[in-house]
Structure 1
Amino acid sequence: MTIVVMALCAVMSGADTFPEIQAFAESKRDWLRRFLDFRRVPDHETFRRVFARLDPVAFQSSALDWIKQAIGGQLEGDIVAIDGKRLRGTSEHEVQGVHMVNVWSARHRLCLAAQPVAGKQNEISILPSLIDTLALLEVSGCIVTIDAMGTQRAVAEKLVALHAQYLLALKGNQGYLFEDVQEMFSDALRRQISETELHGASTWEDRRRSEKRTSWVLPAHPDLDDYHWPGLRSVVMVESTRTVRGKTATEQRFFLTSLPACSVTALYAVRTHWEIENSLHWVLDVAFAEDDSTTRTDHGPQNLATLRRWALNLMRREGSVGAVNKNRKRAGWDDEFRERLLQQLLPLPT
């Protein structure tokens, strides 16, 4: 526990490597002794060995316990995005690196859970167990969004059993289902909208680029029953038209959903899904230098990844404004600010 808390404080304060964690603990020895009992600061190899051997499932479970307390366990009405992120620094020569599958709460702006897999292709195997983990957070009534890798009947079945809604990306890897859904929208858009069950909604964005997004939704046709997709109620097509420097490009994306046919809700859920890239993955790379981490020993990569996500969650819950990398530096300089962050986990002495 002493080593884990030292490391968490160090990571919140700007440390990215085990030698930096040791240096932080040595410089803040007196402050740490206010609530930790230790004779000397461990060296960086001790930190490395502990995190290499620490059970990542148990460590992640501890983080999840805090999440449950922080948000009251409830996610009803939330949009929960699931997406993978490669830890690039863990790849070496022909050795495949670690891939973390992250779960993001849009409402709370927290990483709810993260599970490691060896390589992106293995996301398929880890998703059902990750959904089981979500059951601990009472996901009834939330919308779970996943990219095409997670479009599996087993995933949909688990979410339906948890009384959660799903919106799953549909691509060519689903074969005839993908082609049939494409044909449904092609046929509907060729006819008068008044003659179809088609629902549409659009948004426009004009900042660095001009972009129009249109969501078209159709109730699931009885012909799709042959695919035996659990809880399927409607299908979605989102068409994006972007104009950048005078060049226009159009892209169509398709989705399966257990939601009723509502184009506004579907478009909002599709857009919100990408917050996991901008508010979690990008922040981990830019503010925590996650891609630069070359820790590769045993469980070290995934446990450090959990530590970074835990530190980010504490900063988000504390609520100080400003960029995360600025607040990491502030945590390194300001004992009082660091104490406020840690107070969310430990009852510190006054």
Structure 2
Amino acid sequence: MTADALHTHRDHARWLVEAKRAYYLLVVKRNQPTLHNTLRSLPWKEVTARRYDREAGHGRRETRSVRTLTVTSLGLDFPHVAQAAKMHRHRTDLQTGKITRQTVHAITDLAARAASPQAIGQLARAQWGIEAVHHVRDITFGEDASKIRTGHGPANMATLRSFAISTCAQPATTASPPAYARPPIRPSPVRWT
């Protein structure tokens, strides 16, 4: 289970591991100041478990690095934590030349043998994909500003928004099936003998 900093709480981590028997990757920001400062002060320059990815697309060039560090013996005050991760993103807008950098820290209960820096990076990117959907829901549909608060109204509106997003994300259908589609199965006529 991946989650943004809003869900990075000790009770959530305990519940996930002990009640649901799940694994977690949780982003740590300043809403957990002690944990955030502890993660920032870890010896990241000495870490040998690293992964670098470079790609270009969507009008930008991006380099991502992920460093992971086993922290079980460091006494971090967080339930079941096994590894910490430092993820750094360096983006260059190819049109304007603007450069942005972002560093994010995360924790997981996955041990190093179960989650390499590459796996941690993939999990984090999957979470960022979810955040993009939330961005669409809020910016396009104004979900956070909605005044509907009673009865089944909020759930009904969320369902309609989800339907609209999923409909827009699918390619338009055509009247006839594509050339590579299998022909429909027609029953053979019954012959009586």
TM-score range, shorter chain: 0.7 to 0.9
Q: CA deviation at 1:234?
A: 0.2
Q: For the aligned residues, what is the CA RMSD?
A: 3.2
| Structure 1 equivalent of residue 54 of structure 2 | 204
Q: CA deviation at 1:205?
A: 1.9
- C-alpha distance in structure 1 between counterparts of 2:144 and 2:7, whole Å: 27
- C-alpha distance in structure 2 between counterparts of 1:250 and 1:293, whole Å: 30
Aligned residues of 1:170 and 1:254 also touching (Cα < 8 A): yes
| Structure 2 equivalent of residue 237 of structure 1 | 86
Check 1:301–1:274 CA distance in 2 against 1; reply closer, same or farther (3 A cut): farther
Q: CA deviation at 1:309?
A: 5.3
Amino acid aligned to 2:148? R
Amino acid aligned to 1:272? A
Does 2:6 correspond to 1:149?
A: yes
Q: 1:274 aligns with which of 102, 118, 128?
A: 128
The runs of at least 4 aligned residues of structure 1 exceeding 3 Å deviation read 283-286, 289-295, 309-316
SS in 1 for 2:31: helix
SS in 1 for 2:131: helix
- C-alpha distance in structure 2 between counterparts of 1:292 and 1:150, whole Å: 18
Q: CA deviation at 1:202?
A: 1.4
- C-alpha distance in structure 2 between counterparts of 1:179 and 1:201, whole Å: 23
Check 1:313–1:163 CA distance in 2 against 1; reply closer, same or farther (3 A cut): farther
| Residues 117-147 of structure 1 deviation map (CA, whole Å, 9 limit, x = unaligned) | xxxxxxxxxxxxxxxxxxxxxxxxxxx1111
| Structure 2 equivalent of residue 177 of structure 1 | 35
Amino acid aligned to 2:156? L
Aligned residues of 1:284 and 1:308 also touching (Cα < 8 A): no
Check 1:224–1:280 CA distance in 2 against 1; reply closer, same or farther (3 A cut): same
Q: 1:253 aligns with which of 84, 104, 117?
A: 104
Check 1:241–1:152 CA distance in 2 against 1; reply closer, same or farther (3 A cut): same
Q: Among all aligned residue pairs of Structure 1 and Structure 2, give the percentage whose two residues are the same amino acid.
A: 21
Does 2:69 correspond to 1:218?
A: yes
| Residues 166-207 of structure 1 deviation map (CA, whole Å, 9 limit, x = unaligned) | 0111112222222221111xx241x4xxxx5x3111111212
Amino acid aligned to 2:5? A
Check 1:284–1:251 CA distance in 2 against 1; reply closer, same or farther (3 A cut): closer
Q: 1:165 aligns with which of 17, 23, 32?
A: 23
Aligned residues of 1:234 and 1:259 also touching (Cα < 8 A): yes
| Residues 179-238 of structure 1 deviation map (CA, whole Å, 9 limit, x = unaligned) | 221111xx241x4xxxx5x3111111212111100000000152224x1x2221100000
Amino acid aligned to 1:233? A
Q: CA deviation at 1:268?
A: 0.4
Amino acid aligned to 2:89? S
Check 1:281–1:248 CA distance in 2 against 1; reply closer, same or farther (3 A cut): closer
TM-score for both structures, normalised by structure 2: 0.72
- C-alpha distance in structure 1 between counterparts of 2:56 and 2:80, whole Å: 37
| Structure 2 equivalent of residue 303 of structure 1 | 155
Check 1:241–1:311 CA distance in 2 against 1; reply closer, same or farther (3 A cut): closer
- C-alpha distance in structure 2 between counterparts of 1:282 and 1:314, whole Å: 12
Amino acid aligned to 1:296? I
Structure 2: unaligned runs, 5 residues or longer: 176-193
Amino acid aligned to 2:4? D
SS in 1 for 2:40: helix
Check 1:174–1:314 CA distance in 2 against 1; reply closer, same or farther (3 A cut): closer
- C-alpha distance in structure 2 between counterparts of 1:292 and 1:224, whole Å: 38
Q: CA deviation at 1:298?
A: 2.1
